[in-house]
Chain A
Amino acid sequence: MRPLTAPVETQPIQATDDHLTVSGLACAAGKRVVLRDVDFAVRRGELLALVGANGSGKSTLLRALAGVRKPVAGEVWLDDVPLRTLSARRRARAITLVGQEEALPADLVVGEMVALGRTPHRPPWAGGDATERAAVLAALDQVGLAYAVDHPVEQLSGGERRRALLARGLAQQTPLMLLDEPTNHLDLRHQLGLLRTVRGLGKTVVVAMHDLDLAATFCDRIAVLHDGALLTIGTPADALTPAVIHDAFGVLATPVTHPVTGRTHLLFSADETEPHP
């Protein structure tokens, strides 16, 4: 702990560097505990990956970070404000959550679906004006879907759906975005394209994903969840050690150097001593 008498000018601006702070967070589904004792901070402007096996609590954590899911214990702070003290509307102006398998109403067209992202910025009776149209087109353009603005949502391919959902998130225009497996259903080119887009936003982004290699390549830090608890958080090199990967995923990881780029990648193999899931 820093002494209270420390000179002001030498104090790091640590407090304002943390965009979102989680302390002692726990969530439960009925009696089952899905998250427990989660403590970490999301730094302003960083791209933080959230990795972990299926059911490790990634989606629950993202929903709690968005303030949509009420924790049973602990607190989420947005800057210096407890998230639960904010109205739903103010929260949605600060934090965007794009869910993993959000149902899209079949009868909306893409432009209308993306325009839903403007909901927190307008009164419920307004909408459809020129600024909205501009925000919608800009968001669709960022994900390469501008051509589909008038297509019915149900005619989109799986990958287009993911990108359309991201566009809705972009149209929400918040400084903080929480994305739940945005690269699902995307081909390799679009996975890279989407992550590059997200990286280039200059926003604070927390993204749940399964591809550890992509996470290590694109993200500033990685948080590893295991069984509802935060196993570790740190730079890709610090967080994704073979030991951590074995604990979190039950597989063996071998770091290898890419023969062309010289970057370190991980190769995975089954741990034959582990019981088959």
Chain B
Amino acid sequence: MHTIEDVPQRKSTRRLPAPVVVPVLLVLLAVSGVASVGFGAEPLAWSAVVDALGNRLTGTTGDATFDIIVWEIRVPRTLLAIVVGAGLAVAGVGIQTLVLNPLADPYLLGVSAGASVGATAVITFGVLAAAGLWALSVGALLGALGAALLVFGVAMAQGGLTPLRLVLIGTVLSAAFSAIASFLVFRSDNPQAAQAVLFWLLGSLSGAAWNQLPLVAGAVLVIGGVLVAGSGWLDALATSPDTAAALGVPVRALRGGLFVLLAALVGVLVAVAGSIGFVGLVLPHISRMLVGVRHRAVLPVAALSGAVFLIWVDILARIAVRPTEIPLSVVTGLIGAPVFLVLMGRRHYRFGADQ
């Protein structure tokens, strides 16, 4: 029997409903996408961008220069920013749930350090030269998957994919792979190798091309879709593995599946864009602040906000020090850190168990 006086007055959470946030983010995404096509070494007016896009879509011919800049360079680049940003944010949500750790980012599973070994081998020693333009991506992907496989194998051999074990093994093996990559750079006779490796490691979308988009977009859509489909189980897993088991969630299988999906997703993302820091760490937290912690809401919101965020990061990377481009991780770190700290301070936010 609780009367009104009985009930302590407490503030409920200030969350926004996902059905409101998602359309807003979609509009933001469309606007940001068009803006991204306009910005660059050759600034284009909105009208020129819209004309060029419209001409393509309606099949009429317009200004050929604008058409090439817009359609062959900036549109694929913008689409890649959308796909990679969305993928990193989704992977961040997944990894933070898998290891129950708010500091986890998509590269925790050794994927990015492994990719850097592959990429460095390609850049410094011309490994995989037969693959031509794809050598760097293929090398990075092979390195990423190899590293993930090693982390998986070691964790399983030591008793299973428990959160603490994954964090420790991932961190330790990442350090080892980074050391190997550094050694390769050190041994290289090519003086430009170090800079090329550094630029790649810090992430860039400058290599965007139409032919790589289907694979990356497919990976993000399929794996993101599978994660959304498993959101009820992920909610239980995020509570605690014990609780999830009592609630009938096949915890071992879920962890194994999650690991494989995340390693594949991040491996593909690293292969096309290098390792872009901060997106996969921070956007999941911002999304949870916006719509709460249920994965069914967090995953789509994280994907959209990650896409919008990376579009603007890439715009800044292109125009900040024209005509050279700066690596994406430089921008994500410089904007992301203060934004995140302000958000953490403004709103009450915690992650994981409250004990």
* A interface residues (Cβ-Cβ under 8 A, vs B): 66, 68, 87-93, 96-97, 99, 101-109, 112-113, 116-117, 119-120, 122-128, 144, 147, 150-155, 172
Known A-B contacts A105-B293, A152-B13; A89 and B248 likewise in contact (beta carbons under 8 Å): yes
Beta-carbon contact of B240 and A116 below 8 Å = no
Chain B interfacial residues counted at CB < 8 A: 40
Point out the residues of chain B lying under 8 angstroms from A150, CB to CB.
Answer: 12-13
Beta-carbon contact of A102 and B230 below 8 Å = no
Known A-B contacts A99-B243, A112-B294, A128-B296; A104 and B249 likewise in contact (beta carbons under 8 Å): no
The 8 closest A-B pairs by CB, nearest first: A92-B248, A103-B353, A106-B354, A120-B248, A124-B232, A106-B350, A89-B248, A125-B229
How many A-B pairs have beta carbons closer than 8 Å: the answer is 117
Check if B346 is an interface residue, CB within 8 A of chain A.
no
Point out the residues of chain A lying under 8 angstroms from B288, CB to CB.
Answer: 107
Check if B246 is an interface residue, CB within 8 A of chain A.
yes
B334 nearest CB across to chain A (Å) = 28
CA distance A13 to B21 in the complex (A): 58
Check if B7 is an interface residue, CB within 8 A of chain A.
yes
* B interface residues (Cβ-Cβ under 8 A, vs A): 1-2, 7, 10, 12-13, 228-236, 238-240, 242-251, 288, 292-294, 296, 349-355
CA distance A11 to B251 in the complex (A): 42
CA distance A208 to B344 in the complex (A): 40
Beta-carbon contact of A105 and B242 below 8 Å = no
Of the candidates B7, B10, B12, B354, the one whose C-beta lies within 8 Å of that of A105 is B354
Point out the residues of chain B lying under 8 angstroms from A123, CB to CB.
Answer: 232
Beta-carbon contact of A109 and B239 below 8 Å = no
List 23 A-B residue pairs with CB atoms under 8 Å apart, sorted by A's residue number.
Answer: A99-B242, A101-B355, A102-B242, A103-B243, A106-B351, A106-B354, A107-B349, A107-B350, A108-B292, A109-B12, A113-B239, A116-B236, A116-B243, A119-B247, A119-B248, A123-B232, A124-B231, A124-B232, A124-B233, A125-B296, A126-B232, A127-B296, A153-B354
Beta-carbon contact of B249 and A119 below 8 Å = yes
CA distance A92 to B250 in the complex (A): 11
Beta-carbon contact of B239 and A103 below 8 Å = yes
Beta-carbon contact of A88 and B248 below 8 Å = yes
Shortest Cβ distance from A103 into B: residue: B353
